């Protein structure tokens, strides 16, 4: 039995499609999708925001991390139809090749990746942490970054990059 037939026998018809407008990196994108579509698949497969990566697809590795209203979440565990009233930011929305986000600059400076597959997720989590005023000691940084796995084991340099941006941010807070 192929998968189409299987679906039919379960529910007696194709999925009902929903129209959803997602606000991604300040741009509105309208899609007609089945409710099963995850935010991750909507971003990558339908809208070509391929900076966000699919790793485990079960919320365990963090490769799919994006920002929803500024907070880091696993886009693989989000149904896209539930995200029509929020601001979604992907790695493409944080910086551009001409003007990198400070966290991206720090990752390059500290050589905080090898293969780079986890990097967009790492950067989204790090940016969310710093923006929320968290990561105030080394243990808290490590703990709040623990939802992003790096199979190359670049953790030492990832930590250095994040810590540097966090320290700069705290210094700015003190001045203001």
Partner 1 sequence: MNNFTFQKAGSVNEAVTASTTKRSRIIAGGTNLVDLMKYRVENPEEVIDITRLALDKIELLEDGGMRLGALATNADTAYHAEVAHNYPILAEAILSGASAQLRNKATDGGNLMQRTRCYYFYDTATPCNKREPGSGCSAINGFNRIHAILGTSESCIATHPSDMCVALAALDAQVNVTGEDGERTIDFLDFHRLPGDHPEKDNNLNPGDVITSIDLPNKGFKSHFEYLKVRDRESYAFALVSVAAALELEGDTIKDIRVALGGVAHKPWRIPAAEKECIGKPANEETFKNLAEKLLAGAKGFGDNDFKIPLAHKAIVRALTTAKLKTEK
- CA distances 122 to 74, 96, 135, 170, Å, are 11, 17, 14, 20
Nearer to partner 1, 86 or 152 (CB): 86
Can you tell me the distance from the alpha carbon of 94 to that of 89, in angstroms, rounded to the nearest whole number?
A: 7
Whose tokens are 């741009």? That residue is: 27
The yes or no reply on residue 131 touching partner 1 (CB under 8 A) is no
The yes or no reply on residue 19 touching partner 1 (CB under 8 A) is no
The yes or no reply on residue 59 touching partner 1 (CB under 8 A) is yes
Candidates 21, 82, 167, 170; binder of partner 1 (CB under 8 A) is 82
Candidates 81, 106, 112, 162; binder of partner 1 (CB under 8 A) is 81
Candidates 43, 44, 52, 65; binder of partner 1 (CB under 8 A) is 65
Among the residue ranges 47-55, 73-81, 110-118, 163-171, the one whose residues contact partner 1 (CB under 8 A): 73-81
* Other residues' Cβ atoms within 10 Å of the Cβ of residue 175: 5
User: Between residue 83 and residue 122, which ones bind partner 1 under the rule CB under 8 A?
Assistant: none
The yes or no reply on residue 172 touching partner 1 (CB under 8 A) is no
Candidates 18, 23, 160, 163; binder of partner 1 (CB under 8 A) is 18
Candidates 42, 43, 78, 118; binder of partner 1 (CB under 8 A) is 78
Element (H, E) at 144: helix 138-144
Q: Answer for the pair 145, 122: CB distance below 8 angstroms, yes or no.
A: yes
Q: What is the DSSP string of 42-104?
A: IIIIIT--TTS--SSSSSSS-TTEEEETTEEEEGGGSBGGG-TTSEEE-HHHH--SSS--HHH
Name the site residues for partner 1 (rule: CB under 8 A). Answer: 7, 10-11, 13-16, 18, 34-36, 38, 57-59, 62, 65, 68, 71-74, 77-79, 81-82, 125, 128-129, 132, 134, 142-148
């Amino acid at each position: 039995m192929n998968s189409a037939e299987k679906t039919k026998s379960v529910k007696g018809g194709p999925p009902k499609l929903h129209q959803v407008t997602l606000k991604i990196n300040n741009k509105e994108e309208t899609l007609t999708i089945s409710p099963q579509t995850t935010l991750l698949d909507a971003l990558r497969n339908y809208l070509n925001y391929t900076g966000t990566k699919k790793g485990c697809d079960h919320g365990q590795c963090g490769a799919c991390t994006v920002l929803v209203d500024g907070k880091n979440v696993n886009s693989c565990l989000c149904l896209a139809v539930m995200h029509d009233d929020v601001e979604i930011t992907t790695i493409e929305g944080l910086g551009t090749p001409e003007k990198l986000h400070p966290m991206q600059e720090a990752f390059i400076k500290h050589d905080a990746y090898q293969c780079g597959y986890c990097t967009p997720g790492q950067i989204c989590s790090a940016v969310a942490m710093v923006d929320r005023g968290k990561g105030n000691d080394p243990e808290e940084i490590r703990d709040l970054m623990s939802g992003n796995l790096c199979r190359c084991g670049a953790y030492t340099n990832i930590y250095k990059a994040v810590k540097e941006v966090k320290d700069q941010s705290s210094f700015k807070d003190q001045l203001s």
